[in-house]
Amino acid sequence: MNRREVVGAGLILSGAALAGPAAARAARPFFASHGLVIGVQLYTIDPDLDADFDGTLAKLARIGFRSVEMAGFHGHSAVDLRRAFDAHGLHCTSAHIQPSGRGNGPSFADHDALIRAMHTIGVTDVVLPIPLFPKDFRPPAETNAGEGFRLSGRAMKADDWQRTAAFLNDQAAALAPHGLRVGYHNHNFGFAPLGQTIGLEILLRETDPKTVAFEMDVGWVVAAGHDPIALLKAHPGRFTQMHVKDVKASTVPNFEVRQDPTEVGSGEIDWRHILPVAYASGVRRFYIEQEPPFPGPRIASVAKSFHYLSGLVAA
């Protein structure tokens, strides 16, 4: 069985003939047929935003984006961010928030500042993009940020994932009364075997399904050698957001934060089958994301992915 078959295994629909309104909707592009917008995770174009924040937002709007997900403040205040998003017709309802620290926006460590900022911007989903790494682990001083992140993920043990689950539960309980839903975004090291389980399964099992949601990064699921549709079907209702991220067939399954990235629709991932299963499972917000390196300007890759998804008719 090749990689594409693994990604799509068990996902082909029954083949029962569609009729009437269902057939008409099936012939329309997936996002239009469900009244969904295509978003973008701004991490994808971080250097562009740092160089020209307003101009880059204008380019996103011209491409056709109406929804963005934040991964930092880029030196701006919440008020300035809201003003800039509004000026370009962009809505930001989701943000990646670090567990602690300062410098790129508020963290989970300061609830007052976080609540004020998210309410100002219009964010309703605050997503933890990393687990709580082992307290006693420090990457060697000479390692760069990417390698340090990779080594930290490799060091994760079952009790670190359990500690992360408790953190998510605590944050959700504190922030839900303020209209903020807490989520978790996966990388591929969350699929590394830990005895009879994996880190992501610990989080899914030990977090409160009523208050803690998950954002599936499909690219990292596939990079780990796992099937995103099987994961969605195994946990209906737990995944409410998705990073629509593609990878090349040359990506070797691993748990080391490695993949061969490409634009959505140019890789091996079968979006025609994944997207309808994601919708049926409860995913309602979809964000294009791409990892470096890029073949050219980042904004060109984002545009290519957007236009592919805009015309995609689901299976």
| Structural domains for the chain | 124-289 (3.20.20.150)
**Which pLDDT score, from 0 to 100, does residue 137 have?**
81
* Distance (Å, whole) CA 91 – CA 65: 9
Given this model, what pLDDT does residue 11 score? Answer: 46
Instruction: List the pLDDT tens digit at each of the 315 positions of the chain.
Output: 445 544 444 444 444 334 455 555 558 999 999 999 999 999 999 999 999 999 999 999 999 999 999 999 999 999 999 999 999 999 999 999 999 986 688 999 999 999 999 999 999 999 999 999 998 887 777 788 888 888 999 999 999 999 999 999 999 999 999 999 999 999 999 999 999 999 999 999 999 999 999 999 999 999 999 999 999 999 999 999 999 999 999 999 999 999 999 999 999 999 999 999 999 999 999 999 999 999 999 999 999 999 999 999 999
CB distance 95 to 70 below 8 Å: yes
Residue where the block lists tokens 């990235």: 261
pLDDT, residue 21, reads: 54
At residue 195, φ and ψ (nearest 5 deg) are: 70, -120
Token pair listed for 37: 């917008």
In SS3 terms, the chain reads as CCHHHHHHCCCCCCCCCCCHHHHHHHCCCHHHHCCCCEEEEHHHHHHHHHHCHHHHHHHHHHHCCCEEEECCCCCCCHHHHHHHHHHCCCEEEEEECCCCCCCCCCCCCCHHHHHHHHHHHCCCEEEECCCCCCCCCCCCCCCCHHHHHHHHHHCCCHHHHHHHHHHHHHHHHHHHHHCCEEEEECCHHHHCEECCEEHHHHHHHHCCCCCEEEEEEHHHHHHCCCCHHHHHHHCCCCEEEEEECEECCCCCCCCCCCCCEECCCCCCCCHHHHHHHHHHHCCCEEEECCCCCCCCCHHHHHHHHHHHHHHCCCC
Give the integer Cα–Cα distance in Å for 283 and 45: 24
pLDDT at site 183: 98
C-alpha distances out from residue 211 to 170, 239, 272, 303, Å: 10, 12, 30, 34
Residue identified by tokens 């809505």 is 91
At 142 the pLDDT is 76
pTM above 0.75, yes or no: yes
Which residue, chain included where needed, has tokens 């009790």? 159
Q: How far apart are CA 100 and CA 110, in angstroms?
A: 8
- pLDDT, residue 24, reads 52
Q: Which residue, chain included where needed, has tokens 């295509």? A: 38
Q: Give CA–CA dist 81/92, Å, rounded.
A: 9
